[in-house]
Structure 1
Amino acid sequence: MDLTIGPNQFFWKSDDWAAFYADMAQAPIERVVLGELVCSKRLPFYGDRIPEAISTLQDGGKQVALTSLALVTLKRERKMTAELAEMGVEVEVNDLTALQSLPKGAPFSVGPLVNVYNEGTLEWLARLGATRICLPPELTLQSVEVLARRASDLGVAIEVWGYGRLPLAISGRCYHARLHGRAKDSCLFACEDDPDGLRVSTLEDQPFLAMNGVQTLSDSYACAAFQIEALADAGVSALRLSPHSQGFAQICQLFRQRLDGALDGAGLASGVQDAAKDVRLSDGFLQGARGADWSPINREGNQT
């Protein structure tokens, strides 16, 4: 099973962004998806560094793809999407409107924000040229198995979310701007202050969600530490690790050790929590329970 680094969901300073991908060129992973997924206003701050990042990653032996925006609403965003195909690397579609911008017959991949919930959708995307699909993270192991089996028949690689805050929704409104009393068009990039998203708690001060500009994320960090064997048996080709600012290079190493059999699930989970302090892990969606559930708690009564 391979490791894919998904697109960075957050707004990082340009130098931090570039340093991250330089580190990923040396990480024990096979594939990297980069570019802007969440908000087109962020792209000018690091867009001119994307070609260099692509070159660095390819020199490091990595496969590279560019993500489309998750929500295309403006004329300039349609233009940005059309220009992705001119970059000379595979495009990962995270909004189906991006398909009309791809050359007819060109292979592409599909990201987890596209609702591939059944074999019919998977078959339709394969006919259009999809060669790889990262399934939505809310699917259960049973659903993953059904889709992976059909994908294998079609020659389509299947990825499953392995680590990181889960993308739950994209809105036309910017939560960060609203929090600071600003309009979306004059947000002053408030989301830059929260490099892993801003936690949102309930009125009872219980952790609930995280916000990231126009995006809603899970508060917990999904972690497939205890499902690796089941996913491999189901025919899953790769795990997707979503970038975060805390200990991510170390987390890549830990997942590689887990895939290579050098760590068990408890060892990976413990290592992740050491590398990324104060994060709450979850695997409820894969288990068919509440998304925020963490299976070691259910099995043992306390967190591993």
Structure 2
Amino acid sequence: MTSITLGPLLFNWKPDAFRDFYFRMADAEAIDIVHVGEVVCSKRTPFLDPVIPEVIERLQASGKQVVASSLALIMNDREAAQARDLAESGLLVEANDISVAAMMAGRSFVAGPLLNIYNEGTLATLEAMGAVRVCLPAELAADAIGQLAAKAKMGIEVQAFGRLPLAISARCYAARARGLSKDGCQYVCADDPDGMAVETLDEVPFLAVNGTQTMSYHHMSLLGEVGDLVRRGVSSIRLWPHVTDMAQVAGLFRAVLDGRLAPAEAEDRLAALVPGAEFANGYIHGRPGHQYVEMEL
């Protein structure tokens, strides 16, 4: 059966909200795998460290597979030490920086979507390093995903819902937008729990900012494409956490995967769950990522 994965929370939520969210996800029957950990900014980790152990315990007690996600950009000795501790934690680790994959030293790990995985050679290299599942970058079209899945010996995961993580910078866009430095950011990224929209000079939103991270403005939705992706060899579908009822979002994807709900009806329900969101699926069709390609009826 195709697994539904809940990716790590990319936004800066308060510890109580973080804990309560994952406790609710522990009871979400449609979700099989849950990623936990700070990916974007190491300055946030001291706030989450006290609650992560109880979150992991609660998720594991509910039967979820828990994966510890690493930072996407490791820039100093302290962050490298955190990554080494993660590698030694005994949990299955998602490497979002290639140095973390090297730290795993042959132990099983998940290759995250922020690694550049676009060809069979990269897949083979990661497999030799110990990767048991690979989450592919969002830019790949369905044909390319199918070709990689046909060659892969590990599980292939595709991002299917939410704002897409595109890039990580050493600079903090959220702080700069408010006239602050990164060192004195005052954690203003918490003001945008789903990311801060970025507009062109013509006031057209086209990206979103999450601290040091650049994201898509549009929310990806592949409800109409997941069936085809499974037929092409995809073994897991990733959903990115947002301020909405993620248990219901996961339930929609599970119902479509199981053939209990038509994709068109599921899309209508998804739109009601995320009011104001603009959806896109262009990449999977070999089109610009911000575009939406209507399903063929």
| Coarse TM-score class (shorter-chain normalised) | over 0.9
Tell me the CA shift for residue 55 of structure 1. 0.8
Structure 2: distance between partners of 1:255 and 1:47 = 31
1:246, 1:277 within 8 Å by CA — same for their partners in 2?
no
Q: Show structure 1 runs of 5+ residues with no match.
A: none
Tell me the CA shift for residue 99 of structure 1. 2.3
Task: Give the TM-score normalised by the residue count of structure 1.
Answer: 0.95
The letter for the 2-side match of 1:227 is: E
The aligned residue for residue 43 of structure 2 is 41
Tell me the CA shift for residue 221 of structure 1. 0.3
The answer on 1:203 being equivalent to 2:204 is: no
The aligned residue for residue 56 of structure 1 is 58
The aligned residue for residue 101 of structure 1 is 103
The aligned residue for residue 118 of structure 2 is 117
Tell me the CA shift for residue 180 of structure 1. 1.0
**Within 5 Å, which residues of 2 pair with 1:199-278?**
199-278=197-276
Structure 2: distance between partners of 1:170 and 1:146 = 28
2:102, 2:129 within 8 Å by CA — same for their partners in 1?
no
Name the % identity.
44
The letter for the 2-side match of 1:41 is: K
The aligned residue for residue 138 of structure 2 is 137
Structure 2: distance between partners of 1:252 and 1:143 = 25
1:92, 1:109 within 8 Å by CA — same for their partners in 2?
yes
Task: Give the TM-score normalised by the residue count of structure 2.
Answer: 0.97
**Within 5 Å, which residues of 2 pair with 1:144-223?**
144-151=145-152, 154=153, 156-223=154-221
Structure 1: distance between partners of 2:209 and 2:148 = 30
Secondary structure of 2:82's counterpart equals: helix
Q: Name whichever structure is richer in helix by fraction.
A: 1
Aligned-residue CA RMSD in angstroms?
1.2
Secondary structure of 2:193's counterpart equals: coil
Tell me the CA shift for residue 253 of structure 1. 1.4
Tell me the CA shift for residue 247 of structure 1. 2.4
Secondary structure of 2:171's counterpart equals: coil
1:116, 1:135 within 8 Å by CA — same for their partners in 2?
yes
The aligned residue for residue 81 of structure 1 is 83
Q: Show structure 2 runs of 5+ residues with no match.
A: none
Structure 2: distance between partners of 1:277 and 1:87 = 39
Structure 2: distance between partners of 1:190 and 1:270 = 33
1:173, 1:214 within 8 Å by CA — same for their partners in 2?
yes
Structure 1: distance between partners of 2:106 and 2:88 = 15
The letter for the 1-side match of 2:174 is: H
Query: Residue by residue, what CA displacement relative to the aligned partner does 1:95-134 show, whole Å, maximum 9, x if unpaired?
Result: 00112322x2211111101111000000010011100000
1:109, 1:133 within 8 Å by CA — same for their partners in 2?
yes
Secondary structure of 1:161's counterpart equals: strand
